[in-house]
Amino acid sequence: MKKGILKERWNKYRKRKRWWSILFDFIFLVLIVGMLIPQSRKSISSFVVRQTLLAPRESSNTFILGKDDWDMKLQDREGRLVTLSDFRGKPIFINYWASWCPPCVAEMPSISNLYDKYKDSVNFIFISTESHIDAAKYLEKNSYDFPVYTTAGEIPEALITSTIPTTILISKGGNLVMYKTGAARWDSRNAYKIIDRLLSEI
């Protein structure tokens, strides 16, 4: 009896839908089921976010970093302390992230492309909210060679965030030109255009 009812409903459903609509419904169902499974939830969330990423845009309000901002302290993987001022002279790309964060994971492939293109002319600072060990495991697993730091002291108000991912872009002259919360497509034409303009500044 139950089998007959299911068959009847399937036939009605199939008559109402086109093949591509049935396919989308099936994909949606698979995504929903996958989201209910803890082991696959992060991967599926990251995949969905990655399909909707938009190119970043410059902030409408920009300002020059002050002395206290440049004194921001960071610690690298070897435990060495540095300050933000050590990276002056080139544009600076700061990204707050964590390996457990689906939007962070979603934007990482595009950031990797940006890094490969500009790593010799831009100072990249990836600030992890987790331990160096956990960050290193994620980077190694995905073949990323980003320079990762943790904060070592108070974060200046201009550079603080309560959201990850957050990306901050600073010009060679110390002008904060972008403060982007949320994931973005960093290998987009617009992102390259912004970086190229910063590199062309005297």
pTM, rounded to two decimals:
0.77
Locate all alpha helices (DSSP H) within the chain, ordered by sequence. Answer: 2-16, 19-36, 38-51, 67-70, 102-118, 132-141, 189-200
| Domains of the chain from N-terminus onward | 2-51 (no CATH), 63-200 (3.40.30.10)
Could you list the pLDDT tens digit for every one of the 202 residues in the chain? 456 666 666 566 566 656 556 555 555 455 455 555 555 555 655 565 556 666 788 877 778 999 999 999 999 999 999 999 999 999 999 999 999 998 999 999 999 999 999 999 999 999 998 988 999 999 999 999 999 999 998 999 999 999 999 999 999 999 999 999 999 999 999 999 999 999 998 6
pLDDT reported for residue 139:
93
User: What local confidence, expressed as pLDDT, does residue 143 receive?
Assistant: 94
Which of 167, 157, 32, 183 is closest to 101 using CA atoms? 183
Strands (E), 122-198: 123-128, 148-151, 166-170, 175-181
**According to the model, what pLDDT value does residue 57 have?**
81
Provide the CA 96 distance to its chain's centre, in angstroms. Answer: 8
Q: What does the alpha-carbon distance between residue 79 and residue 120 come to, in Å, rounded to a whole number?
A: 23
